[in-house]
Each structure stands twice: as structure tokens, then as C-alpha cells.
Amino acid sequence: MLLATFLGLLSSWRTVFPQQRTYRRAVQHALGTLACLGRRCLSRVIWTNGGQQRSWSGDYFLYSRCRWDAQQLFVPILRQALSWCPGRLVGMAVDDTRLRKTGRAIPGASYQRDPLSPPFHTNLMLGLRFLQTSLLLPLHRNANTACRALPVRFEEVPVVKKPGKRAGPEDWKQFYEARKRQNLSAHFVQIMPVLRASLNQAGGADKKLVLAVDGSFCNRTVFAASVEGVALIARTRKDAVLCYPAAPGDRRVYGAAKFTPEQVRKDESIPWKNTKVFYGGKRRKIRYKEVPQVLWQGGAKRQRLRLFVIAATPYRKSQSRKLYYRDPAYLLTTMASGSAHALLQIYFDRWQIGVSSQGHMNQPVQVRPGLTDSSLVAGEAPSRESKTVKPSDNILRKEYVQLTRLQRAVNVDVASLHETPEAETVDNARKQQEPSETSPMRRLSPAGYQRRHGGKVDVSTGETLGVRRRNLAEEMSAITVSGKCRHRRQGGGSGRSTVDGRAAKRARREGPGPVSIPQCKVRQG
């Protein structure tokens, strides 16, 4: 049933590819990506589909020679998911994301700031930068469930390469001009009409498109662009300089009195309003202020905006602890009229794009829900989580516990292979640790593996009778021409051991560890 539904969804890909065989190969790769374990690279997808014994040229030619538009693959998703958006407003979340890469020769790969680095230390990562757009499905309209974000566009926005040390003034001038044309905000402005056209093609020509973005897109480049049928809602700074329009009959456009969103929050003459939004598993009450007909002279110019100020939400870490407050949120929208509840709900649903398709957090640490969050600050902590931490912290803790359990299971399975060896005799241990004349190798002890990976030290590993850390150079001494061992005392009895007792005692005291095999020459008799 699930496979038939998935193949029916991919049946619309036939018009994207020029031939039937390329379409079938693309569907095979899509199925292999779902069933593949680990990294979803092309070689693993081919192995998952069982094609490791045939030529891989056709699979690679699908991406290097075949001509097809990757953005058209999202059209079936938008067409079928649009039926889950019954309202007049259709929300989409837009945000940048980075894919980690290991090869420096990959086109477009560059060192960038790691969004997962802590706020007190900036880390760098090698990867590709993309601009992702996801359709927000308001499933909370009909059921007690959270919104779902489905990707409908995924475009690469490479970073402009910086000139070298020997570059001249003309090279630096070209670099600054290219950085203005090829940044995230400029690329976002280019895809705004494309998203509107895609929505019209999918059957949503009568709906209003609302794009929810974070504070990095609240700038002059984005708000100065106007696309018919597209509205923006973005988080803004608390010290942004705003004003009202000038009085009628005045030659000026902007009013003389300036104010900031922070001043609006502290102004007691503007009343607080109440509404309920679905966030954190249930509907929660929030307080907000609304200021219509606002002008942003440094950003949107003469375009009328609407300001929302969301009050800080109190929460407790436990029942006996004091009240803490999240930071307030300040939002600007180009939709001058309309339901305030619908706009606020779309922005609260924008958090779904912060979780990637693999379930890992993709947003920076600064914009995650936490003690000092300013993007989704109005989400009140649920009662079941008031004794612990925020929902995002619980997600990270559960993911860490699952990964830890998986790693422990793998370590136990590997260690169990060493707990029951095929032969637990000294002769077998000597054979396994016997040096090679051509290529001496450093072999690791199974007990040492268990010690490094948290296993027990006193488990049975087959190294009996003081084999650990023995002096193998003395034990495997060279034999003379007469057939006698050079270091072995003749006539001492067959029960005399050749192992140094002090070395064995010291090895038992220090514990297991890697056994190094020294290179020794054996003279042939």
C-alpha cells in the first residue's frame, strides 16, 4: 500500500525526464534512497538496488549528461499537498541550510560558519549552502497534531570566492559587486515570483502566499521587492526605527515621530490582545500587540507594514522553581490587513523547517527555543515539560540517547565476537600474534578493544596463562644450528616456562592493552 502510493506520487516525474529509461532509473534511485542505510550517496544507492555487479555508467550519466530540471520534481508534492490547506492563506517557510562535505575540490564547497556552533565559540565547516522552501501543512486545523513542513524547492546558493592576497583593487571591486548579487537575500527575491507561479500552476491561484522568514531576511533587499499575491512575515530587531505616515496634506511621506518595537512593548497606551496558537503539542494562549500602518524608512521605504509584538511567556523549570521569561518577539509583515491569528500561526509553524529530513536540528543554536530565544518566544512550555526543559531540548536528549544505545549495542556485538574465540589456548594465541618476516604489523588485543570501548576488563578473551603483554622477542628466540634455543636453559625440565614472570605480573597489574610485535629475524638452521 505504501509502495503503491509512493510510485503513484512519482508517476508525475515522467514529464520531467526526456526518456522512459531515464525516468525509470530516477524512480529506482528514489526507492534506493529510502531503503539505503547510512549516507545517501550514489554508490550506496546502487548497492541497495543490487547493481554492484553491473556497470555504473548509466547511473552517473543520469546526473551528468541527461537534461532535466531538479525543481520540477517537487511539483507533484505541491499539487497534492495543497488540498490540506483549506484556508485563504498558504504558508511557506524559507531558510538557508548547509550540507557538510569532505572534499575541497567539490564545486561550490567552501568554509562557512557552522550553524550548530555554540554562541560563545564560532566554528567553521566545509559544505554547500542551499536555500530551502517548505510548504506548511496546517494539520492542527482538523486534529490535535502539529504542522508538517514539506520541501517544495531546494536551490544551491554558492558563496562568492574571496580574492587572494595578490588581488588588485579591481578584483576586490568585482568581489563586492558579486557578493551583492549572489547573496541569500538577492536569491530569495528571485525565487519569490517562481514560488507564486508554482502555486498558481498547482491550483492555488485564488490563495494568498505568505512566506515566513527569519531575521536574516528582514532587510532592504527583501522588503523593497514587491510581488503580487505574496506577503512576508519576518522577525525584526527590537531597535528598528519605525514611524507612522505623515498627516494628510503634509508634503512629507514619513512622520516626524520615530519609535522602535521595544518602545511599543513598553507603551501602556497600546492594549494587549489575546489569541491561541497551536505550538508544542496543544493550543496555547499568547498575548500580543498590533500596530498597523507602519513605515520602515530604512527598509521597506513607502510600503505600509504591520508590526506584531509578542509578549514574553513565563515558564518554570520545576514546580518549586521561580518563574522565568522568554524574550519577546517582534514581527513585521507586508500584509497590511487580514487575520492576525492566521499570520501568527504561520510564523509559529515556521519552526518545522528547523528540523531537517533526517531528524537533526538544522537551525543555529541562537534561534532554537530556549531560555533566551527570540524567534518562537511565545510558545509556552507544556505542563508535562515544565519540570524539565523545553521541547527542543527533549528532542535532542532523546536523539542522543538513541544514538548512544545504538553505539553501545554495536560495541557489545563486536566485543562478543572476542569473548568466544575459536580456540582458547596459548598455542592459538601465539599463532595469531606470530610476526611476519616481510611486513611486521601492529595487532591490537581484543581485551584492549573492550577496555577502550567501555567493556569489562576481566572478561574471557582467550589470552590465558599470561599471554598479555608477554615479551614475544624472548619467547620466540632464534634457534641455533644445533637445534637448541639460544635463551632456553637445557636440562631444566619440560615444565619450565619461557615467559618473564616480572613482565607478566606487570601486565596483569596494568590491565589489557595493545600488543606490539617487534621485528625479529629468524635464522634458518
Following CA atoms 409, 410, 414, 417 in sequence, which dihedral angle do they give, to the nearest 10 degrees? 50
Q: How confident is residue 221, by pLDDT bands cut at 50, 70 and 90?
A: very high
Q: 389 is written with which cell numbers? A: 526543559
From the number of C-beta atoms within 10 Å of its C-beta (0-12, 13-18, 19+), residue 445 rates as buried
Does the pLDDT at position 491 exceed 70? Answer: no
Instruction: List strand residue ranges (DSSP E) for 272-366, in order.
Output: 273-279, 282-294, 305-310, 314-316, 323-325, 329-333
User: 113: which 3 cell numbers?
Assistant: 560558519
Rounded to whole angstroms, how far apart are CA atoms 400 and 394? Answer: 10
Q: How far apart are CA 108 and CA 128, in angstroms?
A: 6
pLDDT tens-digit profile of 81-113? 988 888 899 999 999 988 888 888 888 899 988
Start-end of H helices in 65-138: 75-81
Per-residue pLDDT tens digits for 338-379: 889 999 999 999 988 876 444 444 444 444 443 333 333 333
pTM for this entry: 0.66
Taking CA atoms, 222 is separated from 186, 198, 209, 219, 232, in Å, by 7, 20, 15, 6, 9
Distance between CA atoms of 368 and 236, rounded to whole angstroms? Answer: 16
Count Cβ atoms below 10 Å from residue 171 Cβ, excluding itself.
12
Question: What pLDDT does residue 248 have?
Answer: 86
* Distance, CA of 179 to CA of 229 (rounded, Å): 29
Radius of gyration of the CA atoms of the chain, in A:
33
CA 199 to chain centre: 27
Residue 305 has a pLDDT of 94
Which candidate, 522, 499, 500, 503, places its Cα nearest to that of 440?
522
**φ, ψ for residue 196, nearest 5 deg:** -65, -40
Average pLDDT over residues 226-244: 93
- One-letter identity of residue 446: P
Q: How far apart, in Å, are the Cα atoms of 286 and each of 109, 291, 296, 370, 387?
A: 42, 17, 26, 17, 21
Kindly list the structural domains of the chain, giving each domain's residue range(s) and its CATH number in brackets, ordered by start.
2-64 (no CATH), 70-388 (3.90.350), 414-510 (no CATH)
C-beta separation of 219 from 284 below 8 A: no
DSSP-derived letter for residue 295 is: B
CB atoms within 10 A of CB 422: 6
- What are the two backbone dihedrals, phi and then psi, of residue 186, each rounded to the nearest 5 degrees? -65, -40
Q: Which H helix or E strand runs over 150?
A: strand 148-156
SS3 of 8, please?
helix
Rounded Cα distance, 289 and 263, in Å: 12
Residue 474 host element (H or E) = helix 472-475
Residue 442's SS3 state is coil
Instruction: Identify the pLDDT of residue 372.
Output: 35
Over residues 164-177, the mean pLDDT reads 91
Q: Which of 391, 386, 393, 389 is nearest to 316 (CA)?
A: 386
Q: Please write the tens of the pLDDT for every residue from 303-321.
A: 999 999 999 887 777 778 8
H or E element, residue 28: helix 20-35
Nearest to 461 by CA among 495, 433, 503, 500: 433
- What the block records as the C-alpha cell of 147 is 504542522
119 pLDDT band, cuts 50/70/90, is: confident
At 504, is the secondary structure helix, strand, or coil?
helix
User: Is there a contact between 470 and 503 (Cβ–Cβ < 8 Å)?
Assistant: yes
Strand 230-235 and strand 208-213: the pairing is parallel
Q: Which residue has the higher pLDDT, 274 or 426?
A: 274
| pLDDT of res. 103 | 86
426, pLDDT greater than 50: no
Poorest-pLDDT segment among 12-21, 366-375, 433-442: 366-375
| Confidence check: pLDDT of 42 > 60 | yes
